[in-house]
Structure 1
């Protein structure tokens, strides 16, 4: 059963919500983050990436950087940019991208569910990436970036959500990237109880995006348990900010690959080797994205190819049967010599939101060959997580991205 609780939210005032709402901290490098914050001093990125408030010679991990984030959050709460809701509530969060809507419930999930496996993972985390968010959460006493969770769709919850969406929203704005955001608040005790009990009947939720943020929030919670002489389990640090979406509303985009060279092979020798495991067909100069599982696009020497995996490469194993695994295990590894894609400098990954033309562009600039992928499905993600297994790196790209700063969960 999944513990999904209402919480007392800190959120921006209605007039400034569209200015405050920011893309996740980790989609920017330092230079890009500084540019965003310089253009918009109300962007939550100022707090999420507090190194933007300092000169370039200040280490982004210096204590003063995290202390600045805490001070700015306090200042924005005092000057009215943020306000504290009077009671605990759930929130409905709808994102609309190119006419397609997905609607989730903003709530707090249990760190115990994460530890016990009720909240299921499909990626490993790296400690060095966790440390930054651990210090940010611990110093600000706040969780500011929601974890993107998925669950198998429940009719009762869907009906409640759709009924609430017929009322006047708290927020309704369209961001610069064209994505629309709407928010509603659910605070009446009867509906709150129905939602909480409905999630208690759900056996598992799944991390779709935000593995490092989730791990960081959990580690802060466990740390504070040790620091608290007697904790009840109801303290706010026992829960982390999340947005939970039904699986039938989610869209996963492909995560495409580009490789720097052909591992010493001539184009002719490379194409010849491919024919051992794939049916290779030239499709010309028009950008090609696969339309079915087990098929890949490839761009080489200004020509697009279709690669169809032969039956001998396919597998019923939930991980080995993924398209990203088929490509890695039978082409990128043995032919192009990409042994560990997490650390190999010869490979790069391009989110599907950037389109196929980005693959052509990279091959003209600094790469030799590109592969367009068929997207991993949410069902495949569930199967891997249910089996207690892990996906290869860069298997999924979720769009649209949740905004930070619209919902803040204070730890005390």
Structure 2
């Protein structure tokens, strides 16, 4: 376990020739987009995307064939065919892209570009979660086959405080623009030169594209090709480090593929979206576990006296509220605040008040207290590893971002859903800055960028 050193050279964001859908060749831009690959977890969701438009991006990020090798080859062939047919076409010159997402409750804007890769020990890009090797291997095979970055990672940085990844030292945040405020007319207001000033000027101009996806989120994209504006934005970003908000497996894949090459080139960079969370705070949500081969009855019987176990009433929102209350009351009383909601078989059960002796014996003591107290740490070290003895393999555990979707899976296919509460953002940041990785799939930051609005081909000059 190493602590990242001080930031000497910060984020290095480079322009690239974006590969984008030709709007006249598809039914709509919304119909060819997708959530990130790891959010499309249900077969019905995959089928919905595949049937939305024959050119939906899911055919590249999650191709469906009999074997992994065939899947990756199919994705590469599909990408080449779509380019040859003019469905996907490169922009005429390298650029950075301003990307905006807007819904009823949030406005987010950031810069999409090609980020120079750096290992964690340099303290420029900070991961906060461990990764699963089989996922990195799959993503690496896909990127090798396609020679493309098909979807951007989401990185956050604190534009108000150079040299920090996310969040100010005192926790204060500047006021965020109202999400439903109309775009101002006329010249942009005066702003300190830098990435945000470039973004503010860009959004005064007509967008390169605009679409609203079926979830009600409006997406807009602008191209920044002026060398002076690119220099202004990149000089500012060079003073900052960033936290990986979403995309740990893709970042690990970027680093793995770069290590395979010994000469400088396009593999030294990876596609990212950088969001200044001092101005546009992200949401942090939990990622739930689906234990595919463990029944609720067996799960509860095995727990014994390691946790207090209580049935709680549904429906799902009421059961989740009981989970939040249990954690809050435990924290106020000084007891271990770890709590989990088990769902399946038409019932909900609350697991809370873990036995301190069992915790101390299961959880490694050579990590910071904030790590030892994480729900994900307790879940994996005590419940999954010792009590339930569930292997961390895809056939045993599914990771689902939406609690209702996890519950639906148990109703359809059996098993047990373990529903969790989100981790506080300041805990994520604290551990990342210490160089301490959380268990994989501990957090879900958002809103996540839509996949399919702009791609990066490593074969374009």
Report TM bin, short chain: 0.7 to 0.9
Partner SS state of residue 166, structure 1: coil
CA–CA distance in 2 between the matches of 1:181 and 1:205? 23
CA–CA distance in 1 between the matches of 2:408 and 2:134? 33
Change (3 A) 1:166 1:112: same
- 1:240 matched to 2:270? The reply is yes
**2:246·2:448 contact (CA, 8 Å) conserved in 1?**
no
Partner SS state of residue 318, structure 1: helix
**2:149·2:458 contact (CA, 8 Å) conserved in 1?**
yes
Residues 187-202 of structure 1 correspond to what in structure 2 (within 5 A)? 187-202=225-240
My pick for the range that moved more, 239-248 or 304-313, is: 304-313
CA–CA distance in 1 between the matches of 2:77 and 2:412? 46
Which of 244, 257, 260 lines up with 1:220 in the alignment? Answer: 257
**2:149·2:455 contact (CA, 8 Å) conserved in 1?**
yes
CA–CA distance in 2 between the matches of 1:359 and 1:384? 30
Which of 88, 91, 107 lines up with 2:94 in the alignment? Answer: 88
- 1:101 matched to 2:107? The reply is yes
Structure 1 runs not aligned, ≥5 long: none
Change (3 A) 1:125 1:324: closer
Q: Which residue of 2 aligns with 1:45?
A: 58
Write out per-residue CA displacement over residues 77-101 of structure 1, whole angstroms, 9 at most, x where no aligned residue. Answer: 2333222222221111122344322
**1:296·1:371 contact (CA, 8 Å) conserved in 2?**
no
TM-score (norm 2): 0.71
Structure 2 runs not aligned, ≥5 long: 1-9, 161-191, 332-336, 361-366
**2:115·2:269 contact (CA, 8 Å) conserved in 1?**
yes
Which of 122, 126, 129 lines up with 1:120 in the alignment? Answer: 126
Write out per-residue CA displacement over residues 369-398 of structure 1, whole angstroms, 9 at most, x where no aligned residue. Answer: x65433113322222222121112321123
My pick for the range that moved more, 166-175 or 394-403, is: 394-403
Which of 68, 71, 79 lines up with 1:60 in the alignment? Answer: 68
**Cα-Cα RMSD:** 3.6
**2:307·2:355 contact (CA, 8 Å) conserved in 1?**
no
> Aligned-pair distance for 1:328?
5.0
Which of 325, 332, 339 lines up with 2:377 in the alignment? Answer: 325
- 1:136 matched to 2:142? The reply is yes
- 1:23 matched to 2:63? The reply is no
Change (3 A) 1:348 1:262: farther
Write out per-residue CA displacement over residues 234-279 of structure 1, whole angstroms, 9 at most, x where no aligned residue. Answer: x322111111122352111122346634657659x95x6534xxxx
Write out per-residue CA displacement over residues 195-237 of structure 1, whole angstroms, 9 at most, x where no aligned residue. Answer: 10111101x22222222222222332332x33xxxx4x4x322
> Aligned-pair distance for 1:50?
3.8
Residues 8-407 of structure 1 correspond to what in structure 2 (within 5 A)? 8-15=17-24, 16=26, 17-26=29-38, 27-28=40-41, 33=46, 36-51=49-64, 58-62=66-70, 65-113=71-119, 116-154=122-160, 156-202=194-240, 204-223=241-260, 225-226=261-262, 231=263, 233=264, 235-248=265-278, 249-257=281-289, 260-261=295-296, 270=304, 273-275=306-308, 284-285=313-314, 286-289=318-321, 290=324, 292=328, 294=337, 296=339, 298=341, 302=347, 305=350, 307=352, 317-328=369-380, 337-339=387-389, 342-343=392-393, 349-351=399-401, 353-355=402-404, 359=407, 362=410, 366-367=414-415, 371-407=418-454
